[in-house]
Amino acid sequence: MSENEKKMESPLTKYPRPPFVKQPQEVPGLASKMNPVPDHGEQSYKGSGRLTGRKALITGGDSGIGRAVAIAYAREGADVVINYLPQEQSDADEVLALIAAAGRKGFGIAGDITSEDFCRQLVEEAAEKIGGIDILVNNAGHQQAIESLLDITTEDFDTTMKTNVYAPFWITKAALPLLEEGSVIIATSSVQAYDPSENLFDYAQTKAANVAYVKSLAKQLGPKGIRVNGVAPGPVWTPLQTSGGQPQDAIVKFGEVTPLGRPGQPAELASIFVQLADSNASYATGQIYGAAGGNGHP
């Protein structure tokens, strides 16, 4: 085998399989405290200049899928701004170091996107730091597993809705005047939009809303030359899950119900976000790309 040839890898054994140890964390959780630590592509993702000169804003870019996307975008040549909560600064610092190591500009803006004022400020500051925005990734999410509707407080419901539905609305509205023809918007939905779990009542509704966000906005912005797409992950090994997104008993066997028998790693989704941002995908808009280990509908 030559150096340029890649060896075949089985998707069954490429990454850790359950059982996992119980590992509760407080919301929002840190990737650095997970066991095993998720793979965001830190060692594996190799860029090829697909996004050279592009300017991306990614919410939830400190860990999980957002972190994998930030690393991939930087290695593909984009400058990147990530948003995260102040409690996630240590994870964010690791991402920013990786962006710098890729030779790109990287900036972190900490703050709570459940605030409309902060969402406007986030877009303004991001555009100022990297000279504009032409890739907007609305990825940040809030998920808490609660068995009964009767136990979901209005405050709980508000937090989920504001993080997953209001924030993308506020951020997109603020960014839209800055987006030129050729820009792209990408939303992170979920398999929960299509096959909701009984204990994710509020979260699943927001993920279905994210699908409608993509399909409606794509029709509105298509004539302006702006593409809008989404990604619907299945079970992916991120702090969202270990910090209350799943019951701890479910963490032990997380991902085993998929045909691949394991959870996805954030690194496995990064290339989808790169493809959707790349101008070579110029006819893809209004689409939801699935990545759920053999489950899910898109």
**What is the predicted pLDDT for the residue at 6?**
75
Q: Does residue 2 fall inside a structural domain?
A: no
Catalytic residues: 203
Q: Does residue 205 lie within any of the structural domains?
A: yes
Beta-carbon contacts of residue 173 (< 8 Å; ≥ 6 apart):
none
Structural domain contains residue 36: no
The mean pLDDT value of the chain amounts to 96
- With respect to residue 19, please indicate whether it lies within any of the assigned structural domains: no
DSSP the chain: --TTPPPP--TTTSS--S--------TT--GGGSSSPPP-STTT----STTTT-EEEEET-SSHHHHHHHHHHHHTT-EEEEEE-GGGHHHHHHHHHHHHHTTS-EEEEE--TTSHHHHHHHHHHHHHHHT--SEEEE--------S-GGG--HHHHHHHHIIIIIHHHHHHHHHGGGPPTT-EEEEE--GGGTS--TT-HHHHHHHHHHHHHHHHHHHHHGGGT-EEEEEEE-SB-SHHIIIIIS-HHHHHTTTTTSTTSS-B-THHHHHHHHHHHSGGGTT--S-EEEESBTBS--
Q: Are 209 and 169 in contact (CB under 8 A)?
A: no
Share of the chain above pLDDT 90, in %: 97
Say yes or no to pLDDT of 298 above 90.
Answer: no
- What span, in angstroms and rounded, lies between the C-alpha atoms of 201 and 182? 36
**Which residue range is the domain that position 121 belongs to?**
47-291
Report if residue 54 sits inside a domain.
yes
User: The pTM is what?
Assistant: 0.96
For residue 61, tell me if it sits in a domain. yes
Domain of residue 92, CATH code: 3.40.50.720
Q: Is residue 20 one of the residues assigned to a domain?
A: no
Q: Above 60 in pLDDT, residue 183? A: yes
Domain count, the chain: 1
Candidates 169, 278, 166; CA nearest to 227 is 278
pLDDT of amino acid 280: 97
pLDDT, greater one: 43 or 4: 43
Q: Is the pLDDT of residue 115 over 70?
A: yes
Average pLDDT over residues 168-186: 98
pLDDT of residue 7: 85
**pLDDT score for 4:** 60
Look up residue 259 and give its two tokens.
Answer: 């045909």
Q: Taking every pair of C-alpha atoms in the chain, what is the biggest distance, in angstroms?
A: 60
* In the block, residue with structure tokens 């703050």: 111
pLDDT average, residue stretch 241-269: 96
pLDDT level of residue 191 (50, 70, 90 thresholds): very high
Mean pLDDT, residues 267-292 = 98
Residue 2 has pLDDT above 70, yes or no: no
- On whether residue 28 sits in a domain, the answer given is no
196: tokens are 């909701």
Q: What are the structure tokens assigned to 135, written together?
A: 């890739």
**pLDDT confidence of residue 142:** 97
Banded model confidence at residue 32, pLDDT cuts 50, 70, 90:
very high
